[in-house]
Amino acid sequence: MKKVLIAIAIIFASKVGMAQTVYTDSTLNTMTKMQLTKVYLDQVTTLAFSAPYTPFTVGVNDSIHGELDIPVSRYTSKKREKIMEMSKAYGELMEEKLYELVPYSDKKDIIRAILFLQETNSNIKVISK
C-alpha cells in the first residue's frame, strides 16, 4: 500500500511540476498557438489534480504546506487513490479532446485563459502527500 501511495505522489508531483513556470503576458505573446495550447493544457491538468483537494488545504498553515488536513487511514488512502485515478483520466481526456480545439480560439483569449488558470492554480496549495 505504501508503495502505491509513493507512486501516486510521484506521478502527481510530476504533473504539478509542469505548472511551476510563471508565464507573463509578454512571454505568452511570443508563443505560437500550438505552444499556447500545450501551456493551457498543462494548466488544466494541474487544476484537475489540485482542485479535488482544496477543502483539505484551504486554511492549512504554510509551515505545513503540501500536507492534507485529513486523517491517514486505509479508507482515506483508497479514496485518495481513486481521486488521483479520476484526475489522471480527466487530464488525459482533456488533453486529447482539447488539443485540436483550443487553437481555433483567438490567441489573446488563449493567453487570458492561461493567465486565469495560472492565477487559480497558484491559489491552490500543492499536495505532496
Domain-wise residue ranges, the chain: 2-122
Query: Which amino acid is it at 111?
Result: I
Asked if residues 126 and 50 have their Cβ atoms less than 8 Å apart, the reply is yes
Q: What integer pLDDT is reported at residue 126 of this predicted model? A: 58
In this structure, are residues 125 and 66 in contact, taking their beta carbons and an 8 Å threshold? yes
**73: phi then psi, degrees, rounded to nearest 5:** -155, 170
Higher pLDDT, 58 or 104: 104
Residue 59, pLDDT score: 57
- pLDDT per residue over 23-36, tens digit each? 999 999 999 999 99
With residues binned 3-state (H G I as helix, E B as strand, rest as coil), the percentages for the chain, rounded to 5, are: 75, 0, 25
> Which DSSP letter does residue 80 get?
H
DSSP secondary structure code for residue 78 in this structure:
H
Higher-confidence residue of 25 and 66: namely 25
